[in-house]
Amino acid sequence: MQFHERQQDLFELEDHYVLAHCISADARMGKGIAVQFRERFDLQVLQEQAQQEPLEIGKCYPVGRTLNLVTKAKFSNKPTYSSLTKAVESMRDVCKEKEITHLAMPRIGCGLDRLKWEKVRLIIQNTFADMDIEIVVCTV
Instruction: Enter the DSSP assignment of 11.
Output: G
pLDDT at 140 over 90: no
Number of domains in the chain: 1
* Strand (E) or helix (H) holding 97: helix 81-98
- Residue of 26, 59, 72, 86 marked active site: 72
Could you give the 3-state DSSP secondary structure of residue 121?
A: helix
CATH code at 52? 3.40.220.10
* Strand (E) or helix (H) holding 1: none
- Residue of 26, 59, 86, 113 marked active site: 113
Could you give the 3-state DSSP secondary structure of residue 26?
A: coil
What is the residue range of 9's domain?
2-139
- 113 a catalytic residue: yes
pLDDT at 19 over 90: yes
* Whole-prediction pTM: 0.97
pLDDT of residue 134: 98
State pLDDT tens for residues 83-127.
Answer: 999 999 999 999 999 999 999 999 999 999 999 999 999 999 999
Beta strand segments in 38-132, E = 60-63, 66-72, 102-105
